Structure 1
Amino acid sequence: MLELLGLLQARVEWTAPELAARLGVTERTVRNDVARLRELGYPVDGVRGRTGHYRLGVGAKLPPLLLDDEEAVAVAVGLRTLTGVAGFEESGGRALTKLEHVLPDRLRRRVNSLREATEAGPVNTDSNVEDPEVDAGVLAEIADAVRDHRGLRAFYGADEARIEIEPYRLVAWQRRWFVVGRAPATGAWAPYRVDWLTLRIPGGRTFRPAPLPGDLTELVVREVARTGWAVHARLVVDAPAEEVLARINPAVGVVEPRPDGRSVLVTGGDSLEIVAVWIGMLGLDFTVESPDALVEHLRVLADRYAGAVAGSPGCPPPSRYRGAPVGPPS
């Protein structure tokens, strides 16, 4: 029956002889199994005659799931590790309880052994700022608006600016959720952080989707580097753009060439500490154009690192480092 269900999901229409041949059974067995699937709640439609066939219809309710061993274990483990989106933890826990209740004993033991034999490390190892939680209902509302071509009205950001956008896509990136949309008043495209959105009721008007200019990923990376972080930085790097691009992950920021052979890196992060780590890993000399707070933070780091190596053989005293240009050694 599981194989039969998989075939019905894989193709729109199947004749009884085709299904019987693929499953290695008789056509009568196919008819009996189709009847059993219908009893379980799966809407299998059948057409009689010379062109008769079966197809999986759209059901009015969620029928019982038929999972093989690996799929059942994968779902159980996935539900246990579901984190980061407010509202999903509770519903995920309920779903896991229901699933474990119907698992065969051998699979229940396997899931339990996996749980007892593993430990989850901290999920936020690359930031000193906790990941924002996004309400599942907000994500669902935005997804519905994308599907129905319905505008969104919202308060956005710390200053609660009033915005209206035509939502195009939801994007999960860098442990953040963004909705990419177009401002109907200006035609400008931008990604908006979902955790900075407070949706207003009623929503906006329906709209006719406009074609997205350029590549979706490039738009998100470019605009998030410019406006989507808590801290934004603009650095002049003493290297051509090609060399900088070869050293960074595209998710870090945007690189712009300069006529003098140097380049500008526009990047950001959720804190000054995060930005300092990223640009320190660049391995190139640079000058900070903005923000001033990043300059002061790097001065503190320079003194701290200088003090950490003071007294080492061949190392000049810390005073030699004070007042030096901001930037890591080449």
Structure 2
Amino acid sequence: MQKTSARLLALLSLLQTRRDWSGEDLAERLDVTPRTVRRDVDRLRELGYPITAFKGPSGGYRLDAGSQLPPLLFDDGQAVALAVALQTAATDTTIGEDATRALSTVRQVMPPRLRHRIDLLRVTAVQPPANDDASPGDTRLLMELSNAIHARVELRFDYDQGRPAAERPRRTQPHHLVTWQGRWYLIAWDLDRDDWRTFRADRVRPRTPTGPRFTPRELPGGDVSAFVTGRFRGTDGTTTDWPCRGEVVLNLPATAVAPFARDGIVEELGPGHCRLTLGSWSWTGLAAAIGRFDTDMEVIGPPQLTTAFARLAERYANAARHS
């Protein structure tokens, strides 16, 4: 039988691999009794891991999100992958400073063998050509706007347009936070003008407190991508009429995707995922362009994009077999 400390790490590793585990399955994998599993779960809870028990034929456990970040456990491959991702993110103008600090924290607790591997690896992420007038956005401001959207509360703010400030702040119902051509925009219903408006996020100066909760309205056309492209069509001298256009949800934050999708529309959905709408001259080319983000994703549509992903997967599998 493993020592208690090693067994706790093994138990934590199993709980992180899938959502639900029965008590019997955990006991069998760890070669202990169900009673020992219960005691070890209690020990992990004392260390801050939010493990909940659920009812069933034999009962079980799952590792949930908590109110604070407990110690994390990574295997060697995960630790290296995390360091590579943080090195890449460190070049981003929006989250670069936070990514650099996170990389320093991770490196400090790595065992020497992994730290040496990371020190030998240097990742340089080449940013696309920037629009000189584009603003990367302030992380705290983006989070404040995002919180108002998800809480569905009215937002009051001063809007800096290079002219003397209006006497009254803008009163809005915020609906979407998106990027277009490297710049962040807030899509909101303007209560005073009784119409939809698109605001540059870097010009928004929120006031506190926020207003009352509201019931979201239906966006014209019901599609964020169509709304944004309709508002900005031709304003920068480029065309958005790609023959192939698809939509996916990526398991990455919008701030990590936006710098590398300047020709697309990135909609923030939550702290760890976003919706990307992108165009290309072919469905296969579009699938390949989206695949470079190297993360799990859900294809929203259209069916031609799903078919293109399947076709690429088959080609890659054939190439791997003959290599």
TM-score per shorter chain, which class? Answer: 0.5 to 0.7
The one of the two structures with greater contact order (alpha-carbon pairs below 8 A, sep at least 6) is 2
Partner in structure 1 of residue 83 of structure 2? 76
Matched-pair identity in %: 36
8 Å contact kept, 2:50–2:65: yes
Which of the numbers 157, 162, 167 marks the counterpart of 1:158?
162
Which of the numbers 62, 75, 86 marks the counterpart of 2:69?
62
Q: Distance in 2 between matches of 1:72 and 1:111?
A: 9
Which of the numbers 221, 225, 233 marks the counterpart of 1:217?
225
- Cα gap change, 1:69 to 1:38, in 2 (>3 Å): same
SS of residue in 1 equivalent to 2:49: coil
What root-mean-square deviation, in Å, do the aligned CA atoms of Structure 1 and Structure 2 show?
3.6
- The answer to whether the aligner puts 1:133 opposite 2:143 as a matched pair is no
Q: Distance in 2 between matches of 1:37 and 1:49?
A: 22
User: Matches of residues 302-313 of structure 1 in structure 2 within 5 Å?
Assistant: none
Partner in structure 2 of residue 198 of structure 1? 205
TM (norm. structure 1) is: 0.58
Which of the numbers 10, 13, 17 marks the counterpart of 2:19?
10
Q: Distance in 1 between matches of 2:218 and 2:131?
A: 38
8 Å contact kept, 1:15–1:52: yes
Q: Distance in 2 between matches of 1:57 and 1:24?
A: 21
Partner in structure 2 of residue 142 of structure 1? 145
How much has 1:234 moved relative to structure 2?
10
Q: Distance in 1 between matches of 2:56 and 2:212?
A: 47
How much has 1:101 moved relative to structure 2?
0.7
Q: Distance in 2 between matches of 1:233 and 1:48?
A: 60
Partner in structure 2 of residue 292 of structure 1? none
User: Matches of residues 230-241 of structure 1 in structure 2 within 5 Å?
Assistant: 232=236
SS of residue in 2 equivalent to 1:177: strand
8 Å contact kept, 1:191–1:224: no
- Cα gap change, 1:193 to 1:215, in 2 (>3 Å): same
Partner in structure 1 of residue 281 of structure 2? none
Counterpart amino acid of 1:10?
R
User: Matches of residues 156-305 of structure 1 in structure 2 within 5 Å?
Assistant: 156=159, 157-159=161-163, 162-213=169-220, 214-225=222-233, 232=236, 245=241
Counterpart amino acid of 1:158?
G
- Cα gap change, 1:63 to 1:128, in 2 (>3 Å): closer
Moved more, 61-70 or 205-214: 205-214
Q: Distance in 2 between matches of 1:15 and 1:218?
A: 46
Counterpart amino acid of 1:56?
L
Q: Distance in 1 between matches of 2:212 and 2:203?
A: 21
- Cα gap change, 1:36 to 1:136, in 2 (>3 Å): same
How much has 1:3 moved relative to structure 2?
3.7
User: Matches of residues 12-27 of structure 1 in structure 2 within 5 Å?
Assistant: 14-20=21-27, 23=29, 25-27=31-33
Counterpart amino acid of 2:231?
E
Aligned length, in residue pairs = 232
SS of residue in 1 equivalent to 2:105: helix
Q: Distance in 1 between matches of 2:238 and 2:179?
A: 25
8 Å contact kept, 1:16–1:53: yes
SS of residue in 2 equivalent to 1:164: strand
Deviation string for 1:265-290 (max 9, x for gaps)? xxx9xxxxxxxxxxxxxxxxxxxxxx
- Cα gap change, 1:130 to 1:27, in 2 (>3 Å): farther
Partner in structure 1 of residue 41 of structure 2? 34
Moved more, 97-106 or 70-79: 70-79
8 Å contact kept, 1:151–1:203: yes
- The answer to whether the aligner puts 1:97 opposite 2:104 as a matched pair is yes
- Cα gap change, 1:60 to 1:248, in 2 (>3 Å): closer
Partner in structure 2 of residue 264 of structure 1? none
Counterpart amino acid of 1:143?
S
Deviation string for 1:208-265 (max 9, x for gaps)? 2223332111112221337xxxx65599xxxxxxxx9457989xxxxxxxxxxxxxxx
How much has 1:62 moved relative to structure 2?
1.0
User: Unpaired runs of 5+ in structure 1?
Assistant: 236-243, 251-267, 269-330
